[in-house]
Structure 1
């Protein structure tokens, strides 16, 4: 795997870890950062709305593009496309876009991340050191095409419950996700990030779609939990991970959008049933009000408390770590500093 361009190698995560000393950093939350840069995301499309309302973002260095640069300059080794929330063909078609336009926007979400990576590399050529606390070091960087669950398309908070109703079957979920995965698999992304998977059923749908062979790149499976024991649907975390373990094209497994206090216990259970690299990118622990569609302030942890968990997560077996909702480039920078310290301690000992 080179440091530029896309890699179709199913072991790209393992290759990345070889080149980053055994640990790699995933970026943090996107939506909060988009809003901080002026985007209004009060829309069922959530962060994907930026693709519709700001087609000039590359040129004006606002919204998505600048957020990616913030994360890369904070130390992220993996950045995810703005395609999680309802960036499904159904989501865009519900807005009145044609199938062709919808597929174009899917590819565009990945293209923006790839262009940000190239711009970051250009900045690295100009300097080989950190400037004003910015990390400008050429290194392997992966672009992950983010895929949310069926519940993300519904935009009713059901990705936090996994309850879709009896009419939603395995075949329903496969039909819903199939074309989107085919498009993203040919978009130039290095890997597909299957995020906030709420149930064993949806994990099975994703695994079968990967096994069908029409998706040309590998993926990681990341589940969420609200009790620190099971995934949000109540399904066993071990049974969910076992589905991912059996799928050759799943190259990493883990947890996202879950309170930091639950991560260590979940990782210890995951490690019992997988040989794949384990990833975690928790939220800050704040509570999400699905009715009001907003986070309840002051219910989570700050960056210092968040990063205080990092050593425990790595000791439990985590190789890839970052942040999800409400985390920022400051969170990622703090994780990077913690990793630098950890590497120094281990090398000196």
Structure 2
């Protein structure tokens, strides 16, 4: 088991994570207003996914997150695809990210390559069960399954991501302490040579969406060697600094943060309301690094321009 995150941040102030896949796909004409969300492009327009990954690498990202957050075999089969075709889509998502990494880094000069991460990473996105429900549950955490049910739900996707060769898993937008425990137990049981970052969905800088104190959750997962980083994502820019300080107070693990841009999402109408705040990544990235963040990127509604602002500080 190799901790590629720690290897990468030994010689740099941090790692740059990519930004919003769905936002960029929409600009390329992909309709994400459905239960599959950005995973629709795996069926309809895989070339658009490749273009988005490359745009984030070009902006300075060191880590590409696969387009599998809301992709799973069960959902694809409900759409009428065969089991094999559904499985192949998960593998294809990793292959597209790999292709984007290879094609982009193949164009860099030796001097340009030295400015970037030693090991650019592909993180296999494992979204929560709430994303499968497609009703905004990942921001509430109000669903209840047994540990076995959680593990059974996530197992196939993780097997396919691992088979396809991801560098690590991204357990992301996790609102439920119980589901997070099931994911890490599954990681330990079935994927002993893999690592993952665990990124929570929070209601405020102190609390997971299901009501669990953030510091209690971090303390619990701090003892798992396979959890390579802990953090939060898809919360507002304003929540990040205090959340990082709270996490840093109880762990020495690398901290991963990738907030949304503050726009407000309505899961019923699947529309966004513009964020009235003026804070941007250029101003906030140095502050987050000082507070203890190690991996910084963007979630919903963030663009290559936002990632470029992060990279301009980390890569300078």
- Structure 2 residue aligned with 1:104: 88
How far apart in 1 are the matches of 2:61 and 2:18? 5
Partner in structure 1 of residue 155 of structure 2: 178
Larger RCO, structures 1/2 (Cα 8 Å, 6+ apart) = 2
Offset of residue 266 of structure 1: 1.1
> Conserved in 2, the CA contact under 8 Å of 1:284 and 1:301?
no
The runs of at least 4 aligned residues of structure 1 exceeding 4 Å deviation read 127-130, 135-139
In the alignment, the residues of structure 2 paired with residue 317 and residue 221 of structure 1 have an alpha-carbon distance, to the nearest angstrom, of: 16
Shift of 1:22: 3.3
Query: C-alpha displacement at 1:106, in angstroms?
Result: 0.6
Separation in 2, partners of 1:219, 1:40: 30
- Helix, strand or coil at the partner of 2:108: helix
Q: CA 1:153 to 1:76, structure 2 compared with 1: closer, same or farther past 3 Å?
A: same
Distance in 1 of aligned mates of 2:180 and 2:250: 16
TM-score (norm 2): 0.94
Counterpart of 1:249 (choices 214, 226, 234) is 226
Residue of structure 1 aligned with 2:49, choices 47, 56, 64: 64
Describe the SS at the equivalent of 1:267.
helix
**Which residue is equivalent to 1:36?**
27
TM-superposed CA distance for 1:128, in Å, is 4.9
Q: Which residue of 1 aligns with 2:168?
A: 191
Corresponding position of 1:291: 268
Structure 1: segments with no counterpart, 5+ residues? 1-8, 58-62, 342-349
Matching residue within 105, 125, 148 for 1:121: 105
CA shift in 2, pair 1:243/1:36, >3 Å: same
RMSD of aligned Cα (Å): 2.0
Q: Highest CA radius of gyration, 1 or 2?
A: 1
Q: Secondary structure at the match of 2:197?
A: strand
Aligned to 1:60: none
Separation in 1, partners of 2:303, 2:276: 14
SS state at 1:258 partner: coil
For 1:287 and 1:201, the matched residues in 2 are separated by 26
Q: Which runs of 5+ in 2 are unaligned?
A: none
The whole-number CA distance in structure 1 between the counterparts of 2:178 and 2:116 is 41
Alpha carbons of structure 1 residues 176 and 265: separation in structure 2 relative to 1, 3 Å? same
Distance 1:186 1:307, change over 3 A: same
Relative to structure 1, the CA distance from residue 113 to residue 301 in structure 2 (aligned partners, 3 Å threshold; closer, same or farther) is: farther
Q: TM-score, normalised by structure 1?
A: 0.86
Mark the CA change 1:301 to 1:77 in structure 2 (over 3 Å): closer, same or farther.
Answer: farther
Match of 1:4 in 2: none
Q: 2-side partners of 1:68 and 1:195: how far apart?
A: 18
Residue 100 of structure 1 and its aligned partner are, at CA, apart by 1.6
1:268 and 1:128 mapped to 2: Cα distance? 35
State the secondary structure of the residue aligned to 1:280: strand
SS in 2 for 1:217: coil
Matched, 1:158 2:149: no
The number of residues matched between the two structures is 316
